[in-house]
């Protein structure tokens, strides 16, 4: 059975982006993993409309600056649960940078996702469908009768809300005729080339009667489409199943899905369902701990939390993520990024080995380094560590407990490999951030 320390670290990895160097010891002292779960759930998530996206004079600048800001928010946000669930939603309600999706559109999309604590999934879904970002991304802009574009209608059901088949019965959730009829209902969004504004125009909307998802819907529009989807029996299962897999790391059984469906309800209670999932006994089970593989985004953010990074502008994290094939605004397609073991390959290891070194060594340990560029964890390891305990301390600071004997032996051997100076401390910390245990989540 996993130690209390390993369980607490697991909670921080799944309900946030990993523990800080003191979080595990604090969690053990506070009563263990269950107490930490409750404390994380209790962190306030007040409505916030200004996330200080820096943007830039060009879309290229925004692509860099806003991605850096997203990493900063994920690493330093007071509510790690808000950050984690917003990232899950970003991989579910996918929008990618492109010809017509630039800084303003992406920032508004992120604002919608980050407002999840105040929204039902039904309401979030409608906001996203109506957003400029999604309208551009899935070809909603310009869709008009008699030739409605079906992209948004198809992905709305298949990827965003229902799935192709019912999770319990295996029956098809919708037919091609449903896609065509919903596509008609979603028409009307147009771009004004003079004002450069996307808006809904009744003149471009198909006002005829529609029939979809088993009922006559009259002159349905976006709201009626979302209401019909929320009334579908699969609506209560599709996203809760995704949340369970993301947070627990294993597949839920039918009884668990039924229990979560009851919490999710007719409108999609995101916060309530997340709380129900992480309070289930399997969340802390040995099967769940380290059952997932970190994505590049998770590697970068968890490293920043481990090292205590407070200034990100000089680290080029947007470029690191681009090189590792997970720039947060450049999803490869509407399905989002790969998951799980798809990231566990030589390319990830090689592409990570360089950035983790320059991040760890970005502070030279002297007073010449400005305070906001200093890495408190490396400095603490140098001050408190030595050749005998340095390897163990580095693992502890990285939130790595119950590690394998080969990992422990390698860390101890490296710490003993030369004089204990700042470079040795930084190298030991860097090695912990490349250990097999750090790659899993």
Percent helix / strand / coil, the chain, rounded to 5:
55, 5, 40
The secondary element (H helix, E strand) that includes residue 430 is: helix 422-432
**pLDDT over 90 (residue 354):** yes
- Residue 17 within any structural domain of the chain: no
* Structure tokens given for 156: 């709305």
Mean pLDDT of 184-191: 97
Q: Is the peptide bond before 146 cis (omega within 30 degrees of 0)?
A: yes
Instruction: Supply the pLDDT for residue 303.
Output: 99
How many of the other CB atoms lie within 10 Å of CB of 175?
A: 12
Domain-embedded: residue 190: no
**What pLDDT is stored for residue 112 in this prediction?**
98
Torsions phi, psi for 431 (to 5 deg):
-65, -40
Evaluate whether residue 116 is within a structural domain.
Answer: no
Residue 49's pLDDT band (cuts 50, 70, 90):
confident
Tell how strand 197-200 and strand 215-218 pair up. Answer: unpaired
Which of 85, 43, 76, 9 minimizes the C-alpha distance to 277?
85
Half-sphere exposure of 338 (CA within 13 A, CB side): 14
Q: What is the pLDDT of residue 353?
A: 95
pLDDT > 70 in the chain, percent: 100
Q: What is the rounded distance in angstroms from the CA atom of residue 217 to the CA atom of residue 182?
A: 10
pLDDT digits (tens, 9 = 90+) for 295-322: 999 999 999 999 999 999 999 999 999 9
Containing domain of residue 393, as a range?
296-439
Supply 410's token pair: 């390698």
In a domain, 196, yes or no: no
Please report where in the chains the tokens 């590697």 appear, as a residue.
299
Q: How far apart are CA 407 and CA 432, in angstroms?
A: 9
The number of folded domains in the chain is 1
- Residue 307 has a pLDDT of 99
For the ranges 147-156, 265-274, 347-356, the lowest mean pLDDT is seen at 347-356
Q: Residue 293: pLDDT above 90?
A: yes
pLDDT at 19 over 90: yes
Digit-coded pLDDT (tens) for 223-249: 999 999 999 999 999 999 999 999 999
Q: What is the pLDDT of residues 386-402, one digit of tens each?
A: 999 999 999 999 999 99
DSSP letter string over 47-106? ----------SSHHHHHHHHHHHHHHHHHH-S-HHHHHHHHHHHTTS-----SS--HHHH
- pLDDT tens for 60-90 read 899 999 999 999 999 999 999 999 999 999 9
pTM for this predicted structure:
0.97
Share of the chain above pLDDT 90, in %: 95
Q: Which residues contact 48 (CB under 8 A, 6 or more apart)?
A: 114, 115
- Tell me the average pLDDT across 145-163: 98
Q: Residue 193: what pLDDT? A: 87
CB-neighbour burial class of residue 341 (10 A; exposed 0-12, middle 13-18, buried 19+): exposed
- Position 93 scores a pLDDT of 99
Is residue 302, in this structure, part of any structural domain at all? yes
Q: Is residue 21 part of a domain?
A: no
On whether residue 31 sits in a domain, the answer given is: no
Predicted local distance difference test score (pLDDT) of residue 175:
98
In a domain, 238, yes or no: no
Count of alpha carbons within 13 Å of 104, Cβ hemisphere only? 9
Cβ atoms within 10 Å of 420's Cβ, excluding its own: 18
């Amino acid at each position: 059975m996993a130690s209390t320390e390993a369980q607490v670290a697991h909670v921080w990895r799944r309900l946030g982006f990993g523990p800080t160097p003191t979080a595990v010891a604090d969690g053990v002292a506070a009563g263990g993993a269950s107490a930490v779960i409750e404390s994380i759930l209790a962190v306030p998530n007040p409505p916030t409309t200004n996330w200080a996206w820096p943007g830039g004079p060009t879309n290229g600048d925004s692509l860099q600056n806003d991605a850096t800001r997203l990493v900063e928010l994920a690493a330093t946000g007071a509510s790690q649960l808000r950050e984690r669930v917003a990232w899950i939603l970003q991989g579910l309600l996918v929008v990618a940078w492109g010809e017509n999706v630039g800084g303003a559109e992406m920032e508004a999309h992120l604002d919608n996702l980050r407002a999840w604590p105040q929204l039902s999934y039904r309401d979030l879904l409608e906001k996203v469908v109506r957003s400029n970002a999604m309208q551009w991304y899935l070809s909603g802009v310009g869709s008009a009768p008699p030739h409605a574009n079906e992209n948004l209608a198809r992905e709305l059901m298949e990827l965003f809300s229902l799935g192709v088949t019912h999770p319990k019965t295996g029956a098809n959730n919708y037919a091609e005729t449903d896609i065509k009829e919903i596509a008609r209902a979603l028409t009307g969004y147009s771009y004004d080339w003079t004002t450069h504004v996307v808006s809904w125009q009744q003149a471009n909307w198909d006002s005829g009667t529609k029939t979809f998802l088993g009922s006559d819907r009259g002159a349905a529009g976006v709201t009626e489409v979302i209401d019909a989807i929320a009334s579908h029996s699969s609506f209560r299962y599709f996203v809760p199943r995704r949340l369970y897999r993301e947070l627990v790391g294993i597949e839920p059984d039918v009884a668990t899905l039924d229990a979560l469906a009851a919490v999710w309800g007719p409108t999609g209670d995101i916060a309530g369902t997340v709380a129900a999932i992480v309070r289930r006994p399997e969340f802390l089970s040995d099967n769940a701990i380290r059952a997932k593989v970190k994505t590049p985004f998770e590697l970068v953010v968890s490293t920043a939390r481990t090292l205590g990074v407070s200034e990100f502008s000089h680290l080029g994290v947007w470029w690191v993520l681009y090189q590792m094939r997970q720039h947060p605004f450049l999803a490869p397609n509407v399905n989002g990024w790969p998951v799980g073991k798809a990231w566990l390959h030589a390319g990830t290891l090689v592409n990570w080995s360089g950035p983790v070194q320059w991040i760890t060594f970005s502070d030279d340990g002297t007073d010449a380094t400005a305070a906001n560029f200093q890495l408190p964890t490396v400095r603490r390891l140098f001050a408190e560590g030595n050749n005998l305990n340095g390897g163990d301390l580095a693992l502890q600071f990285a939130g790595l407990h119950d590690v394998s004997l080969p990992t422990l032996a390698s860390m101890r051997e490296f710490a003993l490999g030369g004089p204990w100076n700042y470079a040795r401390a930084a190298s030991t910390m860097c090695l912990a951030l490349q250990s097999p245990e750090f790659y899993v989540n």
